[in-house]
A and B are shown apart, each in its own frame.
Chain A
């Protein structure tokens, strides 16, 4: 049976599923058509919960961060009462950005254009020439910074939503919550971002990075040189084989969970770390067993997770933990932001090896990510042929009772939900 989601314009469907033949095809127009990008902003980025930042970026009262989220510039603050806030970074007077710094600590923000001053809670504190305004000018808060319609957090991951009527964040995350729990349970004191942001541009459609971030199939080919490096740095390949499963978590969220031969600072030892490292890892593992019992401790410590939260948050708990988000600026260009997440109480030894692990694989200077970037950009070049070579294939593992980590179930979960959002809207 063919399921061709019809479109109002009568155009070809964007996703074509043939369950009888176990094929799942995505139209390459999805990656190149400016009309589809407009529909993605209208139906996805303007309506879904979007990752804004981590609570640890606002460690102290009056800490702030400015960030661009879905083409909005957002001021993310912790106010004097330790409440977390998200405002549009635009003066209610004439619109200039009230904060032009990337991050810092400030009790107030003064718009330099006409001098209006706002607290870290967004409230208007002063206006030069106040006597020229009505006495009740701000009685309804029209002079305050405008709050982002929705701001909610889960385990210190803070999300915004521009749709007032969206379901609560907890409902939106649904089954993905349990997977964030597995990551966050590594720490008793809470997780923290390590200082430093990796920011880069990829000349490719944003959905290619969604696919790539949860793709277990490409590792052996694309990352051959990283696997060589693992072998060289440890004397031989660790006996842990690549094996695991993929899960559709609903709402477009998906995850792969698998074993892999690399070292994990929480908590899988490798020979490179020596006897000192073995003692450290044993202690971390032992504490997890005390807290959670053998089975969950083993899952937290020894299995890897590439977790995708629709539409554009990736939490990959692999040889280190990266939090990654990305936005399209054009059909063939995206901006990527990557951070390193770690247990707050981690000692200097583990933090050092975590960051070493991170850089060996992850980020635009690592031994693996540059090859991913190349792959995505080569796909985008290939899509220039979309007129005559119109379909991408996402069929791997269809029909299996339990698709493996290197099948493509997780991508089908994304694309099916994407198609529900966008396919009918165009």
Chain B
């Protein structure tokens, strides 16, 4: 697949599939959407959007290994924060291809994720920045960065789901 032939429709389809896999807790399939050198980041809300997890405190900074471990953990009964599992809904909108670079697309989107458990619904509001690799198998996520538009995690107490 050629980089410049990828349309926004194709990118949206890919992102909506990702949201569906997360909301249906099909986390092993979700992992299949990532490249072998992938990263997943959620920075703290008081650092620059392009901050590095090597020098600033984040909420989440996973390389591929830790991403796999995160999924493995979330599928165990002993991941107490998510046992029983939350119901989640990721709403992805305002999808835009921001740049095309080599085999990569730089994609931005807005996201609202609801998490419901124990009679409470929490909202995570933010934007996504993706580096999507255009591969023979289709689009794959090389980097996913979720930038929260919130003053800290209030009133949320945790990011126990994947945003």
A102 near B46: Cβ-Cβ < 8 Å: yes
Contacts of A194 in B (CB 8 A): 55-57
Contact pick for A198, options B59, B73, B76, CB 8 Å: B59
Any A CB within 8 A of the CB of B70 = yes
A196 near B58: Cβ-Cβ < 8 Å: yes
Any A CB within 8 A of the CB of B45 = yes
Binding-face segment, B5-13, B22-30, B103-111, B146-154:
B146-154
Contacts of A228 in B (CB 8 A): 72-73, 76, 78
A197 near B57: Cβ-Cβ < 8 Å: yes
Interface string of A198-220 (1 = CB under 8 A from B): 11111100000000000000000
Contact pick for B56, options A196, A224, A348, A371, CB 8 Å: A196
Q: Ordered nearest first, which 10 A-B pairs have the shortest CB separation?
A: A199-B152, A196-B57, A365-B59, A370-B81, A196-B44, A365-B60, A200-B153, A365-B159, A370-B160, A370-B158
Among residues of A, the one whose C-beta sits closest to the C-beta of B45 is A199
Contacts of B72 in A (CB 8 A): 228, 232
Binding-face segment, B61-69, B93-101, B127-135:
B61-69
A198 near B57: Cβ-Cβ < 8 Å: yes
Any A CB within 8 A of the CB of B126 = no
Any A CB within 8 A of the CB of B42 = yes
Contact pick for A201, options B46, B56, B58, B156, CB 8 Å: B156
Any B CB within 8 A of the CB of A187 = no
Beyond A199-B151, A352-B54: 14 further Cβ-contacts under 8 Å?
A102-B46, A195-B57, A197-B45, A200-B157, A201-B155, A229-B69, A229-B73, A355-B57, A355-B61, A359-B61, A364-B59, A364-B156, A365-B42, A365-B60
Contacts of B70 in A (CB 8 A): 367
A369 near B56: Cβ-Cβ < 8 Å: no
Assembled-state Cα–Cα distance A233/B70 (Å): 12
Most B CB within 10 A of own CB, among A196, A201, A363, A371 = A196
Contacts of B155 in A (CB 8 A): 201, 203
Majority-rule SS of A interface residues: helix
| Tally of chain A residues near chain B (CB < 8 A) | 42
Assembled-state Cα–Cα distance A385/B155 (Å): 25
Contacts of B81 in A (CB 8 A): 370-371, 373-374
Any B CB within 8 A of the CB of A377 = yes
Q: Write the residues of chain B forming the contact surface with A, with a CB cutoff of 8 angstroms.
A: 42-47, 51, 53-61, 65-66, 69-70, 72-73, 76, 78-82, 118, 120, 151-160
Interface string of A367-406 (1 = CB under 8 A from B): 1011101110100010000000000000000000000000
Contacts of B46 in A (CB 8 A): 102-103, 196-197
Assembled-state Cα–Cα distance A200/B122 (Å): 12
Contacts of B51 in A (CB 8 A): 195-196
B56 near A197: Cβ-Cβ < 8 Å: no
Contacts of B53 in A (CB 8 A): 355-356, 359
B54 near A351: Cβ-Cβ < 8 Å: yes
Contact pick for A225, options B42, B56, B73, B156, CB 8 Å: B73
Assembled-state Cα–Cα distance A355/B58 (Å): 8
Any B CB within 8 A of the CB of A339 = yes
Any B CB within 8 A of the CB of A413 = no
A359 near B58: Cβ-Cβ < 8 Å: yes
Any B CB within 8 A of the CB of A238 = no
Among residues of B, the one whose C-beta sits closest to the C-beta of A349 is B54
Any B CB within 8 A of the CB of A280 = no
Contacts of B82 in A (CB 8 A): 370
Contacts of B159 in A (CB 8 A): 364-365, 370
Any B CB within 8 A of the CB of A248 = no
B61 near A196: Cβ-Cβ < 8 Å: no
